[in-house]
Structure 1
Amino acid sequence: MNVIEAVITGLGATTPLGGDAKATWAGLLAGQSGITRLQEERFRPLPVRVAGRMAVDPATLMNPVEARRLDRASQAAVVAAREAWRDAGLDISDADPDRVAVVMGTGIGGVTTLLDNHSTLGAHGHRRVSPRLIQMNMPNGSGAAVSIDLGARGGVTTPVSACASGAEAIAHALDLIRLDRADIVIAGGTEACVLPLTIAGFSQARAMSVNDEPHRASRPFDKNRDGFVLSEGSAVLILERASSAAARARRPYATLAGAHMTSDAHDMVAPDPTVTGQIRAIRGALLDGDLHPGDISHVNAHATSTPVGDALEAQAIASVFGSTPVVSATKSMTGHLIGASGALEALATVLAVHHDVALPTPTLDDPDDNLAIDVTRAEPRRTTISAAVSNSFGFGGHNVALAFRKA
């Protein structure tokens, strides 16, 4: 099977663990938590008062004028994309800008701007509403901002698929390269919705942890898990043809060998209890990348820390792989970045393959009974990782699996 692959040559991130990819990776390796207590008065009436905020305010890393013109989610995307672009050793003058594309996923878009201006409208009237409200609020604003900032003219696409958005962006990037519609793709996800309204909505849906101990609130696969922890941030990968990277003498971090997307067609929130959609996504990514279950030695699980979701994903992983791969659940440290989560976990998987290490799951103290997969605990596990899978599943029944291998 002749499979066209894309290599990953650049990584960028701004997350609750650090203001760049290097700091984020160091925090993950160390088993640190990026979850903190929400101290502001506006959060006090809520049943949930912990979340993962970006460790470095992205606005401080930008020109103040351009920062004011972007929603917080777009600020994060631009900061992460700039880092990834630099990390890949790229300059727009070295590439054909018409062949550089952007795919930036998000679950919600510029909701901070929307809610701020709604409050302004009520308090001061329509003349005080920002003339930039629409452009800052629209979900495609982050991808467009990255395109403008880096001069990428090969098209901007914005997957909006809840928690699967960032992973879908990377899957679409692979398609663009395979279809010869782009030579280089800036792909990832972004989200910034740690706000009273979103927390209230998720809380009413009984999806969030009510644990008031920040570092212990997100507990994937643990018997005592009670929901996810909301976080914010962005992660971006640079994907390009292997020939393009070789021409620039760039050693890739890893190869995106395959990707696959399915839908449950079951429920808007609850995953399909048969997990057939998740299984088809994982098997499809392997088939797409000319890989077999036995080739996979590591899985970065979606594992949001919800009682039902984690158990079903464990079932899906075991169904495809048995107990062989080492499984990491990085939301134990980062919380759930919604539309950026799949991109951040793809970044973590790429570095796991690159460095031959499975990241820890430090909040897993008391695993589920009959847990049939091998999940890391407090320490990272050094092991040869020739190929790995990253799972992402979203509200609406979106399932995405990405398969990476050593470059």
Structure 2
Amino acid sequence: MNRVVITGMGIVSPIGNDIATAWDNVRAGKHGISFISKFDASDSDVKVAAEVKDFDPLKAFEKKELRRTDLYTQYAMEAARQALEDCGSDFKDLDPFRIGVIVGSGIGGFGTTEAEHAKFLEKGGNRVSPFYIPMMISNMAAGTIAIKTGFKGANFAPVTACATSAHAVGEAFRNIKHGYLDACVTGGSEAAISEFAIAGFNNMKALSHSDNPDRASIPFDKDRDGFIMGEGGGILILEELEHAKARGAKIYAEIVGYGATGDAYHITSPDPEGLGAGKGMQLALEEAGLKAEDVDYINAHGTSTPLNDKYETKAIKLALGDAAKDVMVSSTKALTGHLLGAAGAVEAIICAKSLEEGFVPGTAGFQEYDEECDLNNMTDGGKDAEIHVALSNSLGFGGHNATLCLKKYAE
């Protein structure tokens, strides 16, 4: 079996549009949540979101391309551009059929759908853009990255709601581990802060009604009342270890395990006993050849919804047993909001940086203890810590669970 390492990373996010800025904000515990500016939210119950700021799509696209490219694809392509630049290789030494692109989106071009449907109602079917379908579909970020890079290996887009990009990274890991690919561009992207999308999530009681950006995304806090919609993209370059070493690549961390399970329980609620998510963590550790007590840090799914956080707490206890009381747990959605299909990749990036630099992020904004979320939830802020093993959890509507196990790289 091949060892798989992370050699490049790129990000577009509410806390920064490059790795250095985003990581500085993680270390500082500085969130990216503010009052909604993308539409007039005066009549909405939802007042705040985690929007991307100062995004420049022209770093990754020609101006003429933008009119046929949804924002989620623009986020993905810019993050991929950064990641490839960061990894220091264009992989021209490899067979292009050995380089994959596995990049997903939970919702795809939601903003395009909203705009084109309004045009349809107002002006009729003939005015709907001929680019609408390729802009909207959830696989187009993966397709666009492949077209622009020339990478011809496995190219697909997982769609598992909020677990999407964790599954993408896991599938990329397995493709390299088992010898189908030598390298892969992987991750996810989302751009769904729109009036229509917010209304849908709000009406299903998923979103916070807080009008205080500092107390809106508060995972594990007793006063949490829903998640904060975020947006952005996270892309990682995964590479077979020997190829990375041969070219002198910088290695952020190693991916050593991946667990994927289903709750088979409910369309939106996690399993109240945490069985599926717990098993996913156990499978990731089993593949890594590690034990529960080896885990130093868990980047929790931690959405700040009443159900997720208490059920994920049960899942962590189920997975780790007695070791659960000692492991450091935090949710960086307190900083980024919930990036839906991009969340898993962004959180894997944060885990990789945590392992590289020896720093565990805190769960920002926390004030009120909840006895149903009684883990070591890093509620006093982040701290320097020598960590060797991290788990990153992602859980999606429909009962989709994915856990990635990352390890500090060592020869």
Q: Which residue of 1 aligns with 2:399?
A: 397
SS at match of 2:390: strand
Over 3 Å counting, the alpha-carbon distance change for 1:236 and 1:303 in structure 2 is same
CA distance in structure 2 between the aligned counterparts of 1:28 and 1:235, rounded to whole angstroms: 15
Conserved 8 A contact 2:2-2:241: no
Whole-Å separation in 2 of the counterparts to 1:52 and 1:328? 18
The 2-side partners of 1:128 and 1:36 are apart by 35
Distance 1:88 1:41 in 2: 37
Q: What's 1:34 paired with?
A: 32
1:254-295 superposed Cα distances (whole Å, 9 cap, x missing partner): 000000100000000111111111110000000011111111
Partner of 1:348: 350
| Partner Cα separation in structure 2 for residue 84 and residue 364 of structure 1 | 32
Shift of 1:380: 1.4
Indicate the residue corresponding to 1:20 in structure 2. 18
- Segments of structure 1 that go 5 or more residues without pairing to the other structure are none
CA RMSD, 1 decimal: 1.3
Counterpart in 1 of 2:329?
327
Q: 1:191-202 counterparts in 2 under 5 A?
A: 191-202=190-201
Question: Would you say 1:119 and 2:123 are equivalent positions?
Answer: no
Match for residue 57 of structure 2?
Answer: 59
Match of 2:279 in 1: 280
Distance 1:5 1:195 in 2: 41
Distance 2:364 2:137 in 1: 37
Q: CA deviation at 1:121?
A: 1.7
Residues 282-329 of structure 1 show CA distances to partners (whole Å, capped at 9, x for unaligned) of: 000000111111111111000000111101111221231321111111
Partner Cα separation in structure 2 for residue 91 and residue 197 of structure 1: 39
Structural mapping, 1:191-270, within 5 Å? 191-270=190-269
Partner residue, 2:152? 153
CA contact (8 A) 1:14 1:55 kept: no
In the TM superposition, what whole-angstrom CA distance separates every residue of 1:163-217 from its partner, at most 9, and x where no partner exists? 0001000010011112221111101010000011111111111111000112220
Conserved? CA contact 2:38–2:194, under 8 Å: no
- Quote the offset at 1:98 in angstroms: 1.5
| Residue type of the alignment partner of 2:145 | V
Partner of 2:368: 366
Whole-Å separation in 2 of the counterparts to 1:42 and 1:78: 28
Segments of structure 2 that go 5 or more residues without pairing to the other structure are: none
| Alignment partner, residue 84 of structure 2 | 85
Counterparts of 1:379 and 1:137, CA distance in 2: 39
3-state DSSP of counterpart to 1:374: coil
What is the Cα deviation at residue 60 of structure 1? 4.3
Per-residue displacement from partner, 1:225-270 (whole Å, max 9, x unpaired)? 0000001000011001000100111131000000010000000011
TM-score scaled by length of structure 2:
0.96
- Measured after TM superposition, the shift of residue 152 of structure 1 is 0.9
Q: CA shift at 1:38, angstroms?
A: 1.2
Match of 2:46 among 45, 48, 60: 48
1:228–1:11 CA distance, 2 compared to 1 (3 A)? same
Shift of 1:41: 5.4
Cα separation, 2, equivalents of 1:394 and 1:204 = 18
| Deviation readout 1:51-91 (Å, 9 max, x if unpaired) | 11112324243321122221000000000001011111111
Give TM-score scaled by structure 1 length: 0.97
| Mean CA deviation greater in 309-318 or 259-268 | 309-318
Distance 1:27 1:94 in 2: 36
CA–CA distance in structure 2, aligned partners of residues 63 and 367 of structure 1 = 50
Which stretch shows the higher mean deviation, 328-337 or 87-96?
Answer: 87-96
Distance 1:41 1:390, change over 3 A: closer
Counterpart AA for 1:45: D
Counterpart of 1:343, as a letter, is A
Q: Distance in 2 between matches of 1:86 and 1:44?
A: 41
Alpha-carbon distance change, 57 to 251 in structure 1, aligned in 2, over 3 angstroms: closer
Once residues 143 and 299 of structure 1 are traced to their aligned partners in structure 2, the CA distance between those partners, rounded to angstroms, is 28
1:164–1:399 Cα contact (<8 Å) kept: yes
Give the Cα–Cα distance (whole angstroms) in 2 for the partners of residues 363 and 210 of structure 1.
16
Could you tell me the percent identity over the aligned residues? 37
For the residue of structure 2 that corresponds to 1:32, the secondary structure is coil
Contact 1:322 1:372 in 2 (8 A): no
Q: Number of residue pairs matched?
A: 405
What is the aligned counterpart of 1:338 among 337, 340, 347?
Answer: 340
